[in-house]
Amino acid sequence: MSQTPAISSFRRIVVKVGSSLLVDQTAGGLKREWLEGLAEDIADLHQGGRDVLVVSSGAIALGRAVLGLPRGPLKLEEAQGAAAVGQIALARAWSEVLGARFMTAGQVLVTLQDTEERRRYLNARSTIDKLIEWRAVPVVNENDTVATSEIRYGDNDRLAARVATMMSADLLVLLSDIDGLYDKPPAPGNDARLVPVVSRITAEIEAMAGISASELSRGGMVTKIEAGKIATTAGTHMVIASGRVDHPLKRIAEGAPCTWFLTPANPVTARKKWIAGSLEPRGAIHIDAGAVRALRGGASLLPAGVTKIEGAFGRGDAVVVRGPDGAEIGRGLVAYDADDAEKIRGRSSADVLSILGFTGRTEMIHRDDLALANE
Query: For binding to ligand GLU (CB under 6 A), which residues are involved?
Result: 18-19, 57-61, 83, 141-142, 144, 155-156
**Minimal distance, residue 43 CB to ligand GLU, in Å:** 23
Decide whether 74 or 195 has the Cβ nearer to ligand GLU. 74
**Minimal distance, residue 155 CB to ligand GLU, in Å:** 4
Helices and strands, number each (H, E), in the chain:
14, 13
Alpha helices in the chain (DSSP H): 19-22, 32-47, 59-67, 76-99, 112-116, 118-133, 156-166, 203-208, 220-233, 248-253, 267-277, 289-296, 338-344, 352-356
Decide whether 142 or 340 has the Cβ nearer to ligand GLU. 142
**Minimal distance, residue 133 CB to ligand GLU, in Å:** 26
**Minimal distance, residue 160 CB to ligand GLU, in Å:** 9
**Minimal distance, residue 59 CB to ligand GLU, in Å:** 3
DSSP state of 264: S
Decide whether 58 or 330 has the Cβ nearer to ligand GLU. 58
Answer yes or no: are the C-beta atoms of 233 and 269 closer than 8 Å.
Answer: no
CA distance 158 to 111: 12
Write the DSSP string, 48-59: TT-EEEEEE--H
DSSP state of 239: E
For the chain, the first-to-last Cα distance in angstroms comes to 35
Sign of CA dihedral 240, 134, 271, 166: positive
**Minimal distance, residue 167 CB to ligand GLU, in Å:** 18
Decide whether 53 or 83 has the Cβ nearer to ligand GLU. 83
CA dihedral 150, 181, 1, 261 (to 10 degrees): -30
Decide whether 59 or 205 has the Cβ nearer to ligand GLU. 59
Distances (CA, A) of 82 to 93, 125, 185: 17, 27, 32
CA distance 287 to 284: 10
DSSP state of 32: H
DSSP-based three-state secondary structure for 271: helix
Decide whether 144 or 368 has the Cβ nearer to ligand GLU. 144
**Minimal distance, residue 94 CB to ligand GLU, in Å:** 12
Decide whether 80 or 300 has the Cβ nearer to ligand GLU. 80
Going by C-alpha positions, the residue among 206, 192, 155 that lies closest to residue 176 is 155
**Minimal distance, residue 203 CB to ligand GLU, in Å:** 25
Decide whether 116 or 204 has the Cβ nearer to ligand GLU. 116
**Minimal distance, residue 64 CB to ligand GLU, in Å:** 9
Decide whether 61 or 292 has the Cβ nearer to ligand GLU. 61
CA distance 230 to 245: 27
